[in-house]
Chains A and B, each alone.
Chain A
Amino acid sequence: MAAHGWGAERSDARALPCPGVSVGSEFLQRAHSLSVRIKVKGELSEEGGHGASLSGGEEFVGHRPYRGGEDLRRLDWNLWARLRQPFVKVTRREAGEEWAVLIDASASMGVGPPGKLQRAAEVAGALAVLGLARGARVRLFASSGAELDMAKESAAGELLKYLNGLRAEGSVGMRGLVEQAAKFRSANRVFLIGDLLDLSPAQALALVRKGRSLAAVGLLAPLEFEPASLGRIEWWDPEEEQRLVLNVGQKTLQKYEMTLSVHLDRWREAAARHRASFGCWDTKVAFEDVVRDVLRA
């Protein structure tokens, strides 16, 4: 039986179009560059979630333009008096910030191209670089069980090794990770990165609590985000080995787009209610743009 199970898994992995991850030093350079640009422009929200307790001292690192709706307590009134333009103080927490980056590495993440797992790994890696640059402790959790605990920027080699070791396989996805919330109970920022199709908004947003921000990053392959192929399609779920044969024409595509839109709206509304952030991107979008949008939200 064990041999049979192994054979079946290997067969699935071979059939998946984008089962693995490939990142190298060039990726790290891009991630560092992104981190610097975000730091300079002050795009990273300093709040640790709605009503976060800023326990511990905060180090002033600079200013950025005020954005409508922000907490006025963060406005630098001295600067306003001098320049007559609103700026917000940007600080860095001196200690105690912990980020948890949850990566869905189930078989369905092997869909692409561009592969969902590849893009998820890039986004996770960039967030890790950014978090480390802020002095935070960054912990990465993959649904396959692989974990990486990083506290120093010098751990870039470990990060690459970890990301390259990820593989889209098995049926345990983001839901399985969320159910292990105890592992990252002390995290101030939690990032969920995956297709978020096996998870209800309520299950994800249950992670929101005082002093913690939650960002749900949905990544869909082009053929999931905006399918275009017309004809007779056998849709195949690599996780549950289930199939559905459909003649996909324009009407069916419109119906799918509506269904996906409803699904995403549910996520957006639920996230807004919980002061969490949510976004969904096509894997054709570069990881830099995804990360920038996630941090702006």
Chain B
Amino acid sequence: MWQRPWAFWAFLLPVLVLLLARSPLRTHRVATGALNLWRRVEESAHAAGGERPKLPPALLFLVIGLFFGVLSLAGPRELSRGTSRTWQIVVDRSSAAYLTSIGSERSRLDAALALLESRLSAELRSGDSLRWFDGSEWLGGPEVPSSWISAPRVAVSAPRWEELDLPGVIWVCPIEPESERSAATLCAGGAEVSPGAVALDGQDRLDWNRGDLRRVIGGAPQRTVMMSGVDGRFADFVTLWAEERGLLLNDSGGGTQEVLRVSVESPGEDWGAEAWKSRPGLLLLSSAEGPALGGDPAQFALTWSELLDTLCLPPTGFSPVWARSLSGDEAWDLGELPGQRSDGSSQDQSWGAWMALLACGFVAAALIAAPR
């Protein structure tokens, strides 16, 4: 493995030296009146065909010296047999990561992953493994989980970077986070300001463009609540709530986005005494009648309205202003390697030093052997 594989381009230098030096080895046409003498030389057993042209020792030493010099420059690293390293790649999957620049279909995350692929390949040893983390779940595999490529339906928060500043950890994000970084590797794909929709207000949409906020009357996308199996007064309540929010009910026509599904499911063992369960975009009821209406009806309506508001998924294409206003350049900053000692006395560096010493030795020999 090599720290600076691009240095192998420098191998062109000794090759060039050899090519230039070969010019004396090319056939030179020389007129002579002594061709008969040369014939006799050729006919002698020793010199049939002449001698094989040899490289001058000084040139040979120089080429070998350049060879070792290039190896030293490339930064050889010893492969530790029987050990493996795990790179922990933390991916920012917040809404800021999935925005695209104007006129581009590539998201900020795509750019960051492309940078990661190009730079990490130079660092990987055989036997290294990768683990991926988006702030909530860990996944293994040589490539980024495919489900992470597209934006999640439910917004994901950015990872807690300050807790992930560790050797062997790579931060994959649009721009460098504000958290202080000392051990982790930074892989920022870069970001440009991305104007667009940031919020809904009833049937209107609010668009942001570099500090300007513009209301688009009736620009809100058609959103629908799908309700199935629910009956009775709770169904009436959900219908009223949807109308109040400007949401359609059970309309799966083209152009509409489902933001909430309310349905009935037979309660399993894991339900316990619960009458309903929820997660973003979904409300499951244990019975068709829904939760029992008890106590103050107004309080019931207020509480459930807030809950349903919370469960509603945001419409696609909407991102907060902070995400759209991010901008920064691409950056790669290699931090501490996984399992690498930080005292600077690693075996890797001594290999490079030995190569450099050999290079100097051969170049010195070339200078000594050079014809005066």
A255 lies within 8 A of B41 (CB): yes
**Pick from B24, B28, B33, B39: contact of A244, CB under 8 Å:** B39
Q: Is A247 touching B49 in the complex (CB atoms < 8 A)?
A: yes
By the criterion CB–CB under 8 Å, are B32 and A248 in contact?
Answer: no
**The one of A109, A224, A259 that contacts B41, using a Cβ cutoff of 8 Å:** A259
Q: Once the chains are docked, how many angstroms separate the CA of A259 from the CA of B54? A: 23
Q: Nearest Cβ in chain B — how far from A19, in angstroms?
A: 10
B residues in contact with A248, CB < 8 Å: 50-51
A232-B25, A244-B35 known; A223+B30 contact, CB < 8 A:
yes
> Taking A231-B24, A232-B27 as contacts, is the C-beta distance between A252 and B32 under 8 angstroms?
no
Number of B residues, CB within 8 Å of A: 28
Name the distance in Å between A115's Cβ and chain B's nearest Cβ: 11
Q: How many A-B residue pairs have CB under 8 A?
A: 114
In the complex, whether A169 has a CB less than 8 A from a CB of chain B is: no
- A197 on the B face (CB < 8 A): yes
- Complex contact A108–B53 (CB within 8 A): no
CB pair A247–B37 under 8 Å, yes or no, is no
- Residues in A whose Cβ lies below 8 Å from that of B34: 195, 197, 220, 224, 235, 260
B36 at the interface (CB under 8 A from A): yes
Q: Which A residues lie within 8 Å of B46 (CB)?
A: 251, 255
CB distance from B19 to the nearest CB of A (A): 15
Residues in chain B near residue A263, CB distance under 8 A: 37
In Å, the complex CA distance between A62 and B30 comes to 49
* Chain B nearest CB, measured from A250 CB (Å): 8
Contact with A along B273-298 (1 / 0, CB 8 A): 00000000000000000000000000
With both beta carbons as reference points, the residue of chain A lying nearest to B23 in the complex is identified as: A231
A108–B32 contact, CB under 8 A? yes
A132 to chain B, nearest CB (A): 30
With A246-B42, A247-B53, A251-B51 already in contact, the answer to whether A195 and B30 are too (CB < 8 A) is: no
Q: Does B33 lie within 8 Å of A111, measured CB to CB?
A: yes
Residues of A near B252 (CB, < 8 A) are none
Give A1-21 as 1s and 0s: 1 = Cβ < 8 Å from B's Cβ atoms: 000000000000001110000
* Binary flags per residue of B96-122, CB closer than 8 Å to A gives 1, else 0: 000000000000000000000000000
- Give Cα A17 to B40, complex, Å: 25
- Whether B29 sits at the interface, judged by CB under 8 Å, is yes
Q: Which 5 interchain pairs have the tightest Cβ spacing?
A: A108-B33, A247-B50, A249-B51, A246-B50, A237-B35
Q: B residues bordering A, Cβ < 8 Å?
A: 24-42, 44, 46-47, 49-54
Residues of A that sit less than 8 Å from B by CB = 15-17, 108-111, 116, 195, 197-198, 220-221, 223-224, 229-240, 242, 244-252, 255-256, 259-260, 263
Q: List 28 A-B contacts (CB under 8 A).
A: A195-B34, A197-B33, A220-B34, A221-B33, A224-B34, A229-B28, A230-B24, A232-B28, A232-B50, A233-B28, A233-B29, A234-B27, A234-B28, A235-B30, A236-B30, A245-B27, A246-B38, A246-B41, A246-B42, A247-B50, A248-B50, A248-B51, A249-B53, A252-B51, A255-B44, A256-B37, A260-B34, A263-B37
Known: A246-B38, A246-B50. 19 other contacts (CB 8 A): A116-B33, A221-B33, A231-B24, A234-B27, A234-B28, A235-B32, A237-B32, A239-B33, A244-B38, A244-B42, A246-B47, A246-B49, A247-B52, A247-B53, A248-B50, A250-B51, A252-B41, A255-B44, A259-B37
